[in-house]
Structure 1
Amino acid sequence: MAMLGRTSVGRRWAVGGAALALTVVTGCGGGGTGESAAGACEPASGKVTLQYWSWVPGMEQAVDLWNREHPDIQVELKNTPSGNAGTYQNLSNALKAGKAPDLGQIEYDSLASFRLKEGLRDISSCPGVTEAETRFADWTWSQVEFGAEGEDGVWAVPQDTGPMALFYRKDVFEDLGIAVPKTWQEYEAAARTVRKAGKYITHFPQTDPNWFTGLLWQNEATLFEREGDAWKVTVDRPESRQVADYWQNMIDDKLVATDLQGFSPALYKSWNSGEVVTWISAAWGYSTLRDNAKATSGKWAVAPMPQWKAGEKRAGNWGGSTTAVLAGSPHPAEASQFALWLNTDPKALEILNREGGLYPAAKAGLDLPALKKPVDFYGRQPVFDVFAEASAGVDTGFTWGPTMTDTYRFLSDGTANAIGGGSTLGDVLKQTDAQSAESLRKQSLDVTE
């Protein structure tokens, strides 16, 4: 798999400067606050028990393996709902109460929010952490290494990524004489043919702002920019409006199903019945389709995302998580050791890919046998070859803001209103832009126009 080049995205995304001078709780040996990245992170002298919250299916198998191989560092796993479905709020509450776990699963887009809440431990001084940088895809490490200018810390260990591609019903496309669309113009034409056959090309969910952000990402429509110590909100920009106008047209012409929510029984039924025949999704989506559309085994295939300009090879990214050591953990050295093992050990990576469908951020994960073999559900297609190419086309300059939870809520609420006919997706961009800027100001952050 071709790796993405190293860029300054980590610094552009940095939550730093005077406006965000955060106190970091180190928790080393019961330590207090105020230690910098250079603070001590010494291993404990005796046995240690760590608490870890995660929503990855099959994670218990990886944790059991660790516990068997590391009798002096035991991990207790708590299975939780996905981040914005409950885990992030529960983590925030636990941090306020001083009862947070040692480790938590946190998506890349939410790391800055937890840093803003003083909820993360800078683990750059913990044994083996900085040396691990070369073991991960460059762009994923730049997502976890950020801080004040010239004072980058490491706030988590990359776990997985979500390069996007097009899942499509190969049999339906062949029956209707549709070539696999290489551009969004061709995708719209395919949608009209599919609709005439009584089906939908895809669904447009009301409550998946992460998915819509992935579509924006493909068009290099970053949501935020840094200007010195200030933030500039760029949700409403020409590249974003191009994406929004395209999908608004698809909605207006009733070419997409708008009554289906992501990851819902109704959506799964539409896949099994053939009512919905494509899904623009991430690498981890291969197991979502496999496990929830079993009646269609052998009928799906995977192709690159349609492009805005013919011949390009751009891809969005949807999702991807890290394993973060939370502020207040009394055992950051051991927690960091587990986080590194979980996301680099070949046996652990194999479990997380097989059971949880994770596409690993670690370079070693690309050599997993499962990522090189044909997949039965997809007609024996080696689908991860497509995602390897997609990963190489992800824009590394995409910038997350420090209040992404708010931005996603604004996008979600606005999208629901637009689908209901109360506004347009273009209006949603304008509203979200203004609301996100106000959200930053409420956090006492500098915002530039």
Structure 2
Amino acid sequence: MAMREHTSLATRCMVGSAVLALMVVTGSDGGGGGVKDGAGSTSCKPASGKVALDYWSWVPGMQKAVDLWNQQNPEIQVKLKTTPAGNAGTYQNLSNALKAGKAPDLGQIEYDSLASFRLKDGLRDIASCPGVKDSGQKFADWTWSQVQFGAGGRDGVWAVPQDTGPMALFYRKDVFDKLGLKAPTTWDEYAKDARRLKKAGKYITHFSQTDPNWFTGLLWQNKATMFERKGDSWKVTVDRPESRQVAEYWQKLIDDKLVATDLQGFSPALYKAWNDGEVVTWISAAWGYSTIRDNAKSTSGKWAVAPMPQWQPGEQQAGNWGGSTTAVLGGSKHPAEAAKFALWLNTDPKALEILNREGGLYPAAKAGASLPALKQPVDFYGKQKIFDVFAQASGNVDTNFTWGPTMTDTYRYLSDGTAGVIGGRTTLRDVLKETGSQSTESLRKQSLDVTG
């Protein structure tokens, strides 16, 4: 999920952990709307009678949305199970449930984990379910591409987008104003500002070893796709020219001691640095607005939001950090009804309002940009309408970015390598090369077809 109201939840959702032991699952016939053709089946016939669906999610307040659905749909009742965030337990529990043939009908799965589930037959292809194919236009283009695993829909539809994490620049406007600085529009300007701020006794930002998915968002902005896929064949492209440009840029900031390297993301030490004015920007996702608001309360009214700095003047590219989907899982006996609920949950105006208000989600649905809460000035940010910036960013996220099927491994390699960078034992450029080699080996260990 994204736009989290609780920092602990943000931390759990953002940090990758152990490798998922996802098992092959075949479909089962449960009668009524049952599907007999396996998890990847294109069959999606509605049931003839009442249906009960199980749904696992970690979004705060999700029960209120489910209650609204159940009131409006007596023939299709949904039972919610609140679970830990994905890598904090839900994914492993889903893996075990799939293996035992006891998985729920629906589950919350982040974009970067969809490929893992799909390749092990953990997802249903819901492209043929009523209303699904016609719903692509209702979502931000890049999110629909993510659930198709490529443009053109040749791979079916494997989930319904729920929320996103379009990235922008949070910055201390009071500090910038005092030093006669404006929000940087390019990365060159950002580096110059970093030097000016260092002379004033401040760091422009922190560089954390525990947020490899944050660094991935920076790569994404520069169109540095980490994996390429043709059919079921994979190629690891972590170490590519666009990635090297990002790595060399941040390596220079680290070497020149222009960024704080002793602060980890979502930590009390980082929050203190924000409150004390020691660290004065954060390149983060839409959900980050509440992380700063809730943990740097003494700075209310002093922050503002601007688009991400660009590699070339005049460009409009944004990265993404975070976001989830609602997926119909392998073994579901009622994919048509499950898909219907997933579409409603992530497109209905009332459902979107509940998930935004209660769970802090920044919706993937285009209609979400019209939510009243996202149109209002935000007091903490000097009454700026900050979500206008994120709405623009969402439209500037590269739709061709591809997640690999073993992203938890790749994140771990990036994180371990970054620790060496901060310790002065290696460089980000070398980390990319090593992560690419390790990720290729990880794919091969999963018996996947790897090229290059």
TM-score by length of 1: 0.89
Return the letter of the residue paired with 2:43: G
- 391, 415, 437: which one pairs with 1:388? 391
Report the Cα offset of residue 91 of structure 1. Answer: 1.9
| CA deviation profile, 1:155-199 (whole Å, cap 9, x unmatched) | 100111221100001111112222211111111121122223332
Letter of the aligned partner of 1:303 in structure 2?
Answer: A
1:43 and 2:47 aligned = yes
- 5 Å-filtered alignment, 1:401-440, equals 401-440=404-443
Residues 201, 273 of structure 1: alpha-carbon distance in 2 compared, 3 angstrom cutoff: same
Give yes or no for the alignment of 1:34 onto 2:59: no
Which residue number in structure 2 is paired with residue 13 of structure 1? none
> What does residue 308 of structure 1 align with?
311
Asked if 2 retains the 8 angstrom alpha-carbon contact of 1:23 and 1:33, the reply is no
Mapped partners of 1:24, 1:277: distance in 2: 51
- The equivalent residue for 2:14 is none
Deviation at 1:115, TM superposition (A): 0.6
Q: Counterpart of 2:347 in 1: which secondary structure?
A: coil
Q: Hey, what's the Cα distance between the residues in 2 that align with 1:348 and 1:161?
A: 16
Pick from 52, 55, 67: which aligns with 2:55?
Answer: 52
Paired position in structure 2 for 1:12: none
Aligned residues: 427
Unmatched 5+ stretches in structure 2: 1-23
* Per-residue CA distance 1:401-426 (angstroms, 9 max, x = gap): 22222211211221122222221111
Partner in structure 1 of residue 167 of structure 2: 164
Query: 1:237-270 deviations in whole A, cap 9, x for unaligned?
Result: 1111111111112122222222222222332232
Residue 191 of structure 1: aligned partner: 194
Residues 76-85 or 210-219, more deviating: 76-85
Q: 1:274 Cα deviation (Å)? A: 2.0
Q: Measure the CA separation in 1 of the matches of 2:170 and 2:101.
A: 44
Candidates 263, 268, 272, aligned match of 1:265:
268
**From 112, 116, 121, the counterpart of 2:119:** 116
Say which SS state the counterpart of residue 156 (structure 2) adopts.
Answer: strand
SS of match in other structure, 1:206? coil
Cα gap change, 1:257/1:325 in structure 2, threshold over 3 Å: closer, same or farther?
same
- Which position in structure 2 is the counterpart of 1:19? none
Tell me the secondary structure at the aligned position of residue 57 of structure 1: coil
Mean alpha-carbon deviation: is it higher for 343-352 or for 78-87? 78-87
Moved more, 36-45 or 244-253: 36-45
* Alignment partner, residue 14 of structure 1: none
- Local SS of the residue matching 1:380: coil
The residue that corresponds to 2:365 in the other structure is 362
Match of 1:25 in 2: 27
Counterpart AA for 1:381: Q
Instruction: Note if contact 2:25-2:122 (Cα within 8 Å) is conserved in structure 1.
Output: no
- Distance across 2 between alignment mates of 1:94 and 1:197: 55
TM-score (norm 2): 0.88
Give me the whole-angstrom Cα distance separating, in 1, the residues matched to 2:316 and 2:430.
Answer: 29
Counterparts of 1:20-419 in structure 2, within 5 Å, are 25=27, 29=31, 31-34=35-38, 37-43=41-47, 45-48=49-52, 50-146=53-149, 152-227=155-230, 229-419=232-422
**Cα distance per residue 1:1-57 (max 9 Å; x no partner):** xxxxxxxxxxxxxxxxxxxxx875366635545375432432251251x33222223
C-alpha distance in structure 1 between counterparts of 2:170 and 2:358, whole Å:
20
Structure-1 residue corresponding to 2:20? none
**Deviation readout 1:381-415 (Å, 9 max, x if unpaired):** 11111112212221112122222222112112211
Q: Residues of 2 paired with 1:128 and 1:329: CA distance? A: 18
- Give CA-to-partner distance per residue, 1:289-332, whole Å, 9 cap, x none: 22222222211100011111112111111112110011112332
Task: Note the C-alpha offset of 1:135.
Answer: 1.8
